Structure 1
């Protein structure tokens, strides 16, 4: 509960600071679960099967199996075939299925892949579905989450929704409390602004170890620091959104990039690309092989049974500006434009992303900060 509250507080502060397609007629069944219920009389509903593909830890897979069971209870005429793919294999697996004409009815999307699929017509325009459902109260869903899944035919961030947010949450700095205490390193403060990049680097140096004396690092002090966060905390950005000019040549940007690069190339306190390929940051933290790790809310279930104590620290601030910058991550649900049961597929995405029952269950299982603002502020 404490960690969930910390995430919600961080999330609220971050969001405060941030400040025509298929009509879905592909389904021949009623299936308006979450929509204004259609009259069915005594006519039995057609039993349909839809496919859903995602990725994540074993704990995330277990959570989604429970969520799908709740959906199937609410919509007994629908059976969901759920596939969970290892994160490192997901994009390639999905691209292969799309290319072979076997696109899942519902699947995870994010970033460049979302843009590619929206532009190519691989995914449904969900706006017609949203206009008929009582679940979608736009002013009660984080705008920053919704805007990631808008597409107007040429640009992201505006136009109709081609996806619904699976989650949206800020990264926080998790740390191995046991490792800190055994190394005699002072624990990071929870108060924002009291922990700087210099403090983070000092702790990382003290935690980095060659356990067996073979000249190779076995435990790194920190996982790779996010470049985006470092740039924003330095007062820089990747682009001037007013003019469209790329701004990666500014002193603010280059200084931040140098600081992040030095963590690996000068101080040797973060894993190399080869190290990351062998064992990613999440797996490294779970294995007790890294002291500090930028985590999202979705990582919490995988940390519940760790053999060491861990906690969350305030994100370190740039000592030159007094500002902290972190990443707000998100994944979305999209519906295949080829789905033969588009309404049922949309209903699943809507249940997971917008339905109060699904959102409450998802939060209580530790998977995500609620998409519904009133629930998140609770």
Structure 2
């Protein structure tokens, strides 16, 4: 069935999505503005060390106001969609559970993979739009030879957001436009200013939308307190790579692989968290060299631009958003599981984070880091 011409623009209230709306409107497209309300920023204010007021947050009330103002300015219909319950069930609670289990989740990927695109496309169809446009820095196109939609890194590599998008399905890619994929960020701001948007110089949000100040431990305490739950006792020992007990800690939720500060240990050389063992509550620490790993295992896979490979393939892999993709050999070892061997050891491969596989600029696929072996 052919797609209709109406496009729903996902409007976050930031400069990128606002610029997309202005650009498509100037092209004469039939547009509808959509904003997902994901989290009540005042919900945990003042509880268990959380700040009394929260400003400048992604998806805040201020952002909703800015998105609505842009929609009014360019003259398109605008809808605010309450997705708070689904966001809590599919993003916040898994984040809490993962962190309590000693892993380091990445909620922005969960949000994109399991909520944003699904909910936006669902709502768009309900109001008469078959496609959505977003302000993500990414590119997509249909490859006739492969009979697949291909997701690729954008022209502006410094703003590349494909790491957070590896979970998109073929149907979602076929119905999504990334108008900023060929643009550089300074040009996007200039375009927003040319269209008279007051937020053309609005700063980009850098933090997780529901964790003001970036303090995961404070958020965990406040959220569990609100839910009437006690913070589980996961106190235990700080141990060396050889198993020597060096000290004690108050809970594994206070640590992440690669962490240096807050260990409470004195040492002639800097120590970092190497591994977190949720069963024994032991936190293993060691030197920077001991953080290096040559292999990782990933599961819960999604193959994007290629079908699941039947033999070893060469890829580059991102193990965190700001990580430069590193060359590796990838092989499928079991259903929904791969093992990657890097050409050179990588620092602080972290269970719970995403591993995204690239071939050139194309996103071959990705998964969630399960375990790793130290070099």
TM-score after normalising by structure 1: 0.29
Question: Structure with the greater relative contact order (CA < 8 A, sep ≥ 6): 1 or 2?
Answer: 1
Which protein has the bigger helix share?
Answer: 1
